[in-house]
Structure formats: structure tokens, C-alpha cells
Chains A and B, each alone.
Chain A
Amino acid sequence: MSEFALEWRSVSFSVPHGFWMRPKTIIRGLDLAVAPGSAVGLVGPNGAGKTTTLKLGAGLIRPGSGKVLINGQPAMKSQSRRRLGLLTETQYVYPHLRLKEWLAMAAALSGWKGSECRKRVDDVLQRMELTGQADQVMRTLSKGQTQRAGLAQALVHEPDILLLDEPMSGLDPFWRFKVQQMLMQYKASGGTLFFSSHILSDVERISDQVALISDGAIRWQGALSDMPRRLTGYEVRCRAENPSVLEKFAQNSRVELQTDGACLLSVDPEQKEALLNACAAGHVSIESLMPIRPQIEEVLFEFNLLSGEKD
């Protein structure tokens, strides 16, 4: 048994481009590993290579160099994909098929037949609240329903590894929440999750680790708590007999007076000590003090800038 559920080892991939079909590199020397039972979110700007990385992981495309492994076996080997579920960003549906026929086909392709196959289809339809659409031709489903159907086909054979490309795309807030819950449940039951997303709050909520991809290479991978998010200050809610004393602690000397008489201000890290001393001296009464760190989007932006400079 391999140490990793999914592994990309120095993977490169290029596509023929232009009239002379010159190779254009999409993925360059990508190294990434996903441990069994973990959830890794792949984050990066458009064209960074997220979808290609997922396609490589699902064994749909052959790497130009390097290796892609599923449980230690080459992803291109059909048997490696037995316990793998893939949700592509756009659902590639057969327009002539009804939803339940499509799901039955998905289950059959994973080796299920007869009553067990029907049971799984009914079960997954129920979970995704699509039972009412079971006999509907796929091209007549709405965008959100198609996305849910996509998740249903990825889950119908109860895979151990789920690869999801923008799983929340096209979902309304209710279903975004429900899918989040499902994915968290899936992870809690021991499943391995690897997904790409533009919605960084989803990444923050679902994943244990984040991999930042830019220009076809992983720029950073680690736990969100390890992400280098430097402290930019503190948000302080406090009370003072004379609010003007707070101005010397506040960034840009801005103190917001709240309706309940409390003051709200941002404090530079260097000013924290002085504020606490004022509190100890009884001039200020602090109700809350919260560190301000850049949003994950800002960190990502910085990473992109850095990688751009590097290249």
C-alpha cells in the first residue's frame, strides 16, 4: 500500500499549439502528494493548470514526463481508477440519456450490475434530491441540477478518492452549504478529497491542506494554519472615558465610535504593548482584541506576484 492516495512526481505536460503544433507547456515539473483520508484544495488563477492537474490525477491524460500515481499504481492503468470518483467542472453528459440511465451507466462502468446498481442509483438520487428528475432527459436539467447530477455520478460507486474540479460551480447558496457538508462528511468517513476551487472560503472550510498552483507548478503546499499570513495589526473593541486617548494607538488615528459607546480601532502590532499598558493603567477597557491577517486571496495574490517575478 502506498503512502499517498494520489501522487504527482515531477510531472510535465504539454499540448500542441499553433499552426506548427509546437508544444506549449501546461504543467512543468509538478510535485504534489495527497495522503489517504486528507482533503487538499488546489488553488490558483485561471490558466494555472488546475484542471490539467486533475485530469492527470484521474488518468485521463498521459504525462509527458514524470509519474502520476493512484495508491502507488500508475493513474493511466484502468484498474487504478476503480475506487476513484471524478467531478469535472462542466458535466459531460450524453444528451439523449435520462438521468437515471446516465447514473446507471456510471455505476455499471465501475462494475455494478443488476439490483445493486439500481439500489445505488436510487440512493444517490435521493442524497442529491434528484429523484424527481430521474426520468428527465439530461439536456433538460438546470445548471445546478446538472452539477448535482455530476456529483451523484462521482459518488455512485462509493469511491475512496474524490477528484473535484470546481465542485461548487453553478450551485445556489443552499446547495453550496449542503455539498460542503457532504464533502466534510465524506472526509470524516475516511475518504480522500482533492479539489480545485475559485471560492477560497470553501477551500478554507473543507481542506486540511492547500496547494497553490501557478504557471503549471506548485508554488506552496501546506496546512492553512502554516500559510505565511503575516500579522498586519489588531482589531480592538474597547471603551475609554476619553476616546481621544485612543487616537495615538489607532492606525491613521481613526477611532470609530459605536452606538453602544464602545470604540472600534485598528492597532499596529508595535502599538499593542502600549495599548495593553494603557489598559493595565485603567485608562482603557478592552472588550476584544483580534489579530488582522491578510485574506487567503491576498496571500495567493502575493504568491502569484512572487512567482511572476521569479519567472
Chain B
Amino acid sequence: MSGLAWIQLRAIAVNVWRASARDRILLILWATALLFIFFSLVLAKMVVGSEEMALQTTGFWIMGIWGLISVLYLGSNIVRQEIYQKTIYFVLSRPVHRTTFLLGKFFGMIIVLASLFVILALCWLFILLSKGVPLNAGHFVTLAFIFGEWVLLASFSLFFAAFTSPLLHNFFLVGLGFLGHWSRDLYLFSQNAHSAIAKTLLSVIYHVLPNLDALNFRQAALYNEPIGAGLIMLAGGVLLAWMLTALVGANLIFSRRKLL
């Protein structure tokens, strides 16, 4: 990538960050996430069983789901709004390649998501420490892969945003988010299904969708189980491969997209 492309990429990413930092709805969304993290203290008191376990599970769940919500909000309009408000003309009338535009948007989203993630994770870790929950390496690996899942969702969001309306984008992304976590179950269903059509359909969905559960180390963190370096590498590889696939797909579609 040339020096010019880096400057352009930075300018586009900073613009995404500025738009988000000045977006009241997004700020309310973030505040709600923080509220939920602190509300987990109350929830943990209400559950039957270990309070420590409940605190950790709720925290992981909130961070997982807020990633999806944030990506839905950020991604649904990230390309559409540029085309609808025609601000894309302002960018593309300069020596900006469409790939640079898309990557700038992607990195902008990552900066916004990373900011939210750091705030949420720090608050959650602070709560755990204040409640005397012992932290292990698994917690940090899990956190890293929860953020990895956010990044993966952001790249798929960009892929969907490159060709669909915000409504369809949200529909596809929610589907991907949930089905991706049920990937193993889909595989089991496909193996046990009696109907050939159902078997094929479930098998196709299993192979087409990224297996988000491969990035899930929550159980290992909760029960302080060691996570092998090989497994981490494999999960990292899966994450990277799916992310690149989504980004390349988004780029191929967006490069050919006709502007009016």
C-alpha cells in the first residue's frame, strides 16, 4: 500500500470515529452497555448458584451481544449513507481507490468498536477484581476472541453493506451472529436429519457460515481450564480467514457497484 493510501485510509477512519463519537444514539448505546455491566452485580445476587460464575457469564454475554448490536448500528448505514447523502462523491472525486474507501470504513469501525470494548472490558475486570474473582489466562484469551468476533462481524457487516439495504444488512448479520454460534448444533442436526433436503440444507448452512463457536473460550475461562497454543492459533486462523474472505468479497462487490 502506498503512502498516499495510508493517509487516505487514516482520514476516512478518523471520519468514521468522529461521526460515531458525535452520534448521540451510539453514546446512549454505549452507556446502556455500561449500565448492563454494572447491573450484572444485581443479577449475580439474584441467581441460584455461584455469584462469581454468574458475574463472569453475564459479563461475557453482555460483551458478546453488545458487539453485535454496535456492529448492527454502525454497519447498517456505513456505505448506504455515503451513497444516499452522496458524500461518497466528495471522497471518490479525489485519488481514492474504492478499496481504500472500504478499508478506511472498516478500520474506522474497528477503532470505534475497540474503544467500546476497552471501556466495557475494563469495567468488567474491575467488577470481577472488586468481587475477588480470580482471573486466569483464559479470561484474557476469551476477551481477545470476543473482540475478534466483533471484528469478524464488522467485516461481514461491510460485506452485506456493500450490496444490500440497511434492513437486509441487519437481517443477514443477526442471522450470521446467531447461526454462527449454533454452527455445531446445525452440524449435528444435519447428521441426524431424516429428510435429504433438510440434511443438505443444514450441511450447506454449516459450511457457508463462519463457526463463531470456534472462537468461544468462555467455558475454559470459567473453569480455569488450560487453552492450548495450537487451539488459539487455529481459532486465530479461522478468524483471520473469515475476516479476509468477507473483506475481499465486500471489495469485489463494491468495486463493481454502479454509482448514479
Contact = CB atoms under 8 A, between A and B. Distances in A.
- Asked if chains A and B come from one complex, the reply is yes
Given A94-B19, A96-B23, A97-B18, A110 B89 contact: no
A58 B259 CA distance: 13
Interface stretch (A77-85, A172-180, A236-244, A279-287): A77-85
Interface residues of B, number: 30
B93 A59 contact: yes
Interface string B27-54: 0000000000000000000000000000
A78 B18 contact: no
Interface string A258-286: 00000000000000000000000000000
Interface in B52-103: 85-97, 100
Given A15-B260, A101-B18, A59 B92 contact: yes
Contacts of B18: 96-97, 101
Nearest to A54: B93
Contacts of B90: 88, 92-93, 106, 153
B8 interface: yes
A306 interface: no
A61 B93 contact: no
B258 interface: yes
B188 to A, nearest CB: 43
A78 B95 contact: yes
A81 B94 CA distance: 6
Size bin of chain A's contact surface: 20 to 34
B95 A60 contact: no
Nearest to A87: B93
A79 B97 CA distance: 8
Contacts of B214: none
25 contacts: A15-B260, A59-B92, A59-B93, A60-B259, A61-B258, A61-B259, A61-B260, A78-B100, A79-B95, A80-B95, A84-B93, A86-B93, A88-B89, A92-B85, A92-B86, A94-B15, A108-B8, A109-B7, A109-B11, A110-B94, A110-B95, A111-B3, A111-B4, A111-B8, A157-B94
